[in-house]
Structure 1
Amino acid sequence: MIQNSDVLEPLARWNIPVFTGDSCRVQVSAGEVLTILGANGSGKSALASWMPKNSQSSTIRRVLAQRKLWFTQSGPSITPADRQSHFAHIAQWDQDYSSRYLDHYDAQRSGIALYDISAKINHENSERVDRYEKGMSTEDVNKMLGPRVLEIFNQILQISGLNIEISVDVTGNFSAKHLASEESYPIHLMSDGEKSALLLAAEIITASSGTTFIIDEPERHLHRAISDELIKAIIDTRSDCGFVVLTHDLDLAASLSEQNGKTLTVFGVRWEGEQAVQWDLHEIATDDSLSETARQAILGGRKNILFIEGETTSYDLSLYRVLFPEWLLVPSGGCDTVIRSVTGLRASENFHWVKAQGLVDGDWRSEDEKESLVGRGIHVLPVSEIENLYYTSEMLEAVAEQQSLTLGYDPQLTVEVAKKEALKALGKNGTLERLTGHLAKSVVARKLVEQMPDKVDANPIEITFESPYPQILSEMQGHLNFGRYDDLIKALPIRNTPVRDGIAKGLKFQNYQDYETAALHRLRNSPQPQDYLNITIEEPSQL
């Protein structure tokens, strides 16, 4: 590994002009990574070309992902004089505004990378020979000079998941060997991903100590499965250098944000003619209270986030999107993650621009519990689960009215039949008792968390409270006996019960899936679909 320098001063500083008219002051020290995340068109490449020209640093090196990935041969094709000339021209070109979309030196960049690693190998060999001639042992030489550059190089490739090994023959040509098949081939026959990894690693490993690298979209040409580990492994070998990584890969940004250094998100850029003059930049503070879901949402550059229960593959997500079209919806698994994500974001709101709220299932929550959650930005559904919304009287009546226009059925009669079928299904085969048990279990889980002791020692732990089951069952049986359809539908988790099919057939649908499709269509065509929820969630901000 290349040793970290003892220099404590920053290697590079910038005062980046921002939309407010002020400047965003950032710096990079040895071993640090400044991560800048932004979507395509947000101004990342413009910033990458602005930074070399406007840095308070003497050694800046820009690394482009959009280089050409072909070699004319498998070894260095330039002379030392060519290398010096090309490198000077590239450094000057990288400061030109048009370098963000045009590169006159794409072929030369690849040639320089191969030349530099070949020169590094030759220099290592010369140093080792010199020390052997002075009588030093192999052990002492290895201890003094450390691992060879090809050892470091191949270790990086294999850590990243590229199952290849690079070697150089006596003629100075490089070849790659696939470690599984043992097949060897010249590097000009490698895949684009392998070439990209080779060039990126070669450019950084061989650079001078104290260099600050500006790496623009390193994920290009790299499979997502290897880009994170490759880039982190390269950075880890150069703790004597600083890094600025500009990317639109959310996973890569999240991974790099765990390194020493800052993370910024760029939303946009302002131009004067062909010159970029200001950026919409925001810093993302490191905050251990944020869940991974919340951190991913911030890194994604989102401003209005609604955390919900469920998974990204959940069918319920379509319903949420109709109800909350202006929000970024983040399915977060269970209610605990929703609560933790919203709470963490709100606790650190001085360090980001995100407006976050949450929405959790009803789950027989008390009025005090609902009030407490709302005070923390977390709203409680008026139904046990979001899909229960399809089965409220108001929704049944809306769908039945639409059905009557096409099929000619009496909408009031079909709704009455549907409700009777639902009540009948709830009264059969212990269904009411089973659903009550689910609700009671949710209540017990929350009570256990509330009564968790602050301190645990060798003494026995006793947590005792009355089972909520009898009270809930009594209320549900009362609703059933008096035919209180909506009270039952709002309270009970009816997802995996015959209740849904009974309602659907009462409304002349083949099955509940067809009915829910019709209900979702009705919601989409409603002027205010959120009114069906009967809760108020603050309008998203217009930052």
Structure 2
Amino acid sequence: MPLPIDISVPGAIVPIEFRAGLSTVIVGANGSGKTKLAVECERQLGVIAHRISAQRMLAIDPSIEKISEEAARAQLRYGNAKPNQWGSELAARDIVRWGQAQPRFILDDAGALLQVLFGEQANTAVSAYNAAADGVPIERRDTLMQKLKAIFHRVLPTRDLTITADDIKVSPVIDETVGEHYSVTEMSDGEKAVLYMIGQTLVADHGSVFIMDEPEIHVHRSILSRLWDELEAARPDCAFLLITHDLEFAASRAGNKHVVRSYAPTTGWVIENVPEAAGFSEDLVTLILGSRKPILFVEGEQGSLDLALYRACYPA
């Protein structure tokens, strides 16, 4: 199933399109069925889907046991180093990675992600060493860890990563001066989220559809668009499906934008396109961000009679 791909969603009158190097953005209010839609897209896309749920545990610890890159990739994608023992890779993904296909299952794959990154780094180093020992010209290429470090620093220029064969350290950078490093386990939630999303994007298989539910979690709005600019540029071979509540972030992405109005198990999803020029309508903004109440400005100080009078006339 190579890109580009269009999939049909039950109940929807518009297909969801996936194009290499571009983001398809889904917005909608709480309870409108966005997460179920992500699950449905993953089901239809099969093995090329690389889904990250909104409910995720970022236990990033480089002291995790190092295993082979191949086993780590299987662990990351399917929740098990030997997925075929569950009958198929897709069965393993539902049963193990997603806990019996629960839409709200808390994803805990940061350890497997680190194992892939360290495993790929080790294989690249061994290949270069063997080539040098045999007198064969060495083809220079960055490891995934080196790419991750470069993107991380461009997104968070006040932080620098030091990566060894089995550890990652973080150092603050102030006026181009690198400070004392600390363990990656002590990073803030925002730093962990940035590292995690960069790593997940880099390790996705060629031609994957990367499905990200609520990319804004723990990430400051000022760097969110910059982060996804970097990730899209790093993986021009992949398509991205971003499911978000952040309308400003959604508007900043190039690609198709859809609004999920509602979902019912019997009829499916009500989905609308958002015209590029029109932007998000007032009723949609109100639906997603919450109801807006009229505001009455009163000239008076706390405790004055006019404040008490207007409170009596216009109760909240």
- Which TM bucket (shorter chain)? 0.7 to 0.9
SS of the counterpart of 1:62?
strand
Q: Distance in 1 between matches of 2:237 and 2:205?
A: 9
> Paired residue for 1:113?
113
Q: CA deviation at 1:243?
A: 0.6
8 Å CA contact 1:74, 1:175 repeated in 2: no
> Paired residue for 1:10?
3
Note the 1:446-485 alignment, pairs <5 A. Answer: none
8 Å CA contact 1:30, 1:242 repeated in 2: yes
> Paired residue for 1:253?
250
Q: CA deviation at 1:131?
A: 5.0
Q: Distance in 1 between matches of 2:265 and 2:99?
A: 15
SS of the counterpart of 1:100?
coil
Counterpart AA for 1:210? G
Q: Distance in 1 between matches of 2:224 and 2:314?
A: 40
Q: Distance in 1 between matches of 2:300 and 2:17?
A: 64
Q: Distance in 2 between matches of 1:126 and 1:30?
A: 32
8 Å CA contact 1:254, 1:299 repeated in 2: no
8 Å CA contact 2:50, 2:77 repeated in 1: no
Q: Distance in 2 between matches of 1:49 and 1:78?
A: 30
Q: Distance in 2 between matches of 1:159 and 1:153?
A: 10
Q: Would the alpha carbon gap of residues 244 and 192 (structure 1) be closer, same or farther in structure 2, given more than 3 Å must change? A: same
Note the 1:500-511 alignment, pairs <5 A. Answer: none
Q: Would the alpha carbon gap of residues 300 and 131 (structure 1) be closer, same or farther in structure 2, given more than 3 Å must change? A: farther
Question: How many residues end up aligned between the 2 structures?
Answer: 291
8 Å CA contact 1:10, 1:27 repeated in 2: no
Q: CA deviation at 1:43?
A: 1.3
Task: Select the residue among 90, 93, 100 that pairs with 1:91.
Answer: 93
> Paired residue for 1:33?
23
Structure 2 unaligned regions, length at least 5: 80-91
Q: CA deviation at 1:161?
A: 3.0
> Paired residue for 2:163?
168
8 Å CA contact 1:46, 1:97 repeated in 2: no
1:457-507 CA-partner distances (Å, limit 9, x unpaired): xxxxxxxxxxxxxxxxxxxxxxxxxxxxxxxxxxxxxxxxxxxxxxxxxxx
> Paired residue for 2:84?
none
8 Å CA contact 2:64, 2:115 repeated in 1: yes
Residue 265 (structure 1) aligned with residue 259 (structure 2): yes
Structure 1 unaligned regions, length at least 5: 1-6, 305-316, 324-386, 388-508, 526-543
Q: Distance in 2 between matches of 1:132 and 1:177?
A: 32
Q: Would the alpha carbon gap of residues 522 and 111 (structure 1) be closer, same or farther in structure 2, given more than 3 Å must change? A: closer
SS of the counterpart of 2:264?
strand
8 Å CA contact 1:157, 1:163 repeated in 2: no
Task: Select the residue among 214, 217, 240 that pairs with 1:217.
Answer: 214
Task: Select the residue among 100, 105, 110 that pairs with 1:102.
Answer: 105
Q: Would the alpha carbon gap of residues 190 and 85 (structure 1) be closer, same or farther in structure 2, given more than 3 Å must change? A: closer
8 Å CA contact 1:216, 1:247 repeated in 2: yes
8 Å CA contact 1:322, 1:524 repeated in 2: no
Residue 285 (structure 1) aligned with residue 275 (structure 2): yes
Q: CA deviation at 1:200?
A: 1.2
| Greater Cα offset, 247-256 or 58-67 | 58-67
Counterpart AA for 1:262? N
Residue 60 (structure 1) aligned with residue 49 (structure 2): yes
8 Å CA contact 1:52, 1:95 repeated in 2: no
Q: CA deviation at 1:300?
A: 7.4
8 Å CA contact 2:118, 2:145 repeated in 1: no
Counterpart AA for 2:145? L
8 Å CA contact 2:72, 2:116 repeated in 1: no
8 Å CA contact 1:32, 1:243 repeated in 2: yes
1:404-431 CA-partner distances (Å, limit 9, x unpaired): xxxxxxxxxxxxxxxxxxxxxxxxxxxx
SS of the counterpart of 2:14?
strand
Identity %: 21
SS of the counterpart of 1:264?
strand
Counterpart AA for 1:117? L
Residue 301 (structure 1) aligned with residue 294 (structure 2): no
Counterpart AA for 1:113? L
Q: Distance in 2 between matches of 1:229 and 1:284?
A: 22
Q: Would the alpha carbon gap of residues 32 and 510 (structure 1) be closer, same or farther in structure 2, given more than 3 Å must change? A: closer
Query: Whose Rg is larger?
Result: 1
Counterpart AA for 1:91? R
Counterpart AA for 2:3? P
Q: CA deviation at 1:13?
A: 2.9
| Greater Cα offset, 223-232 or 207-216 | 223-232
Q: CA deviation at 1:35?
A: 0.6
Return the structure number with greater helix share.
1
Q: Would the alpha carbon gap of residues 12 and 516 (structure 1) be closer, same or farther in structure 2, given more than 3 Å must change? A: farther
1:370-422 CA-partner distances (Å, limit 9, x unpaired): xxxxxxxxxxxxxxxxx9xxxxxxxxxxxxxxxxxxxxxxxxxxxxxxxxxxx
Q: CA deviation at 1:265?
A: 1.2
8 Å CA contact 1:49, 1:96 repeated in 2: no
Task: Select the residue among 147, 162, 181 that pairs with 1:152.
Answer: 147
8 Å CA contact 2:169, 2:182 repeated in 1: yes
Q: CA deviation at 1:74?
A: 2.0
8 Å CA contact 2:210, 2:239 repeated in 1: yes
Q: Distance in 1 between matches of 2:105 and 2:173?
A: 37
Q: Distance in 1 between matches of 2:64 and 2:134?
A: 31
Q: Distance in 1 between matches of 2:110 and 2:300?
A: 64
Task: Select the residue among 220, 243, 258 that pairs with 2:240.
Answer: 243
8 Å CA contact 1:175, 1:187 repeated in 2: yes
